[in-house]
A and B are shown apart, each in its own frame.
Chain A
Amino acid sequence: MVRTVTSFGRSGTFDWLYQRVTAVILLAYVLFIVGFIFFTKDFGYQAWSELFAQRWMRVFSLVALLSTIIHAWIGLWSVVTDYITNRMMGGKATVLRLFVEVVLAAVAVLYTVWGIEILWGV
């Protein structure tokens, strides 16, 4: 058993499941958006702003945004813990890994707050 505190759910099974679930949500969102763009008659600012004026679309977009954040965290955490390891780099890997994780977390919070502002601001 390897103990971790910076992985998303601290359990491999949890992280694995969340990465799959968020991937399905993102796929649904991408298909919806692409479908909307291609199948809307007179697609333009009017149709776009009418779509995003509806609460369900804002919630759907927020869910997709949170899914992106979770999906990215789980994926990038794996990359960071694969390539920035104490085994290869010694003690400085801890500092570097923590730094990268804090930057990623800050970006995640920034995008979430910013995204809510945009979705409910228009």
Chain B
Amino acid sequence: MDEDWKRAKRVFATMAAPPVLWLAVFFLVPLAIIWAYSFGENKNLVEITVDGTFSNYAHALQPLYFGIIFKSFWFAAITTFLCLVIGFPVAIAITFASEKTKAWLLLLIMLPFWTNLLIRTYALMAVLRTEGFINMGLAFLWNGLSHITALTGHPLAPFHPLELLHNNFAVVFGLVYVQLPFMVLPLYAALDRLDRSLLEASLDLGAGHLTTFARVVVPLAAPGIVSGVIVTLIPSIGAYLTPDLLGGPESMMIANVIERQFKTANNWPFGSALSFLLMYMTFIAIAVQAIVSRNRKAEASV
């Protein structure tokens, strides 16, 4: 491919120009403006002077905000872990399903994307709320049970609805729900390419199913796991609709704080600094991951 491009530079340039232009105008330029704001100060309610100050970053590194960033990472990490644990069996099941079932299963994974995230989140609220479907269902079963035990003269205590909404549980639940397809799809892509004769060889040569899974499947699916983790972890860190609608006061994540800087607090420079702080951290995390995987590859080839 490389050689083809070198030979047909003009064709390549023509093909690349529109997306590059698009990225520059609608991505890099706005990002550069926000980046500049992060070194600015509010002159009055509507004007920002960019004077190269680091005060916004200093402010953002206070324990208060740093704690919220840390909590966002923590939520995202739990979400990613749960997605991995739930997603892996799903991906394996899809991989080993018959061609016809496979298409249906993949459709089921992608179906939620056809509905807007906001609508899906409101639907989750209807499921989780105090008088929602889960609690209504549980109350029905509980009351039925109570009727039966009442026959023996020991009715149960009245049903207390579970607190499922507006807490950290709801946020992680919502994030797992939203992010799961992003984990399953790369895992499936990796597992589907997997050479099945290797599995058979492993089993034939005396490895049990667990050993085969741990020492053959997981290492071969590693690229899928890594990309699944990245596409799950990073959007989860910046999630703000889910904590806003499903969370309680203590489930506030960093994106909610950033949003408030641009709206309620009207402090764009500080909001910009917080956004970029998050971005720097994400870049560093990806860079570290890239270095680690390169080292590992180098080791493997030695």
The answer to whether A and B come from one shared complex is: no
Chain B residues in the interface with A (C-beta under 8 A): none
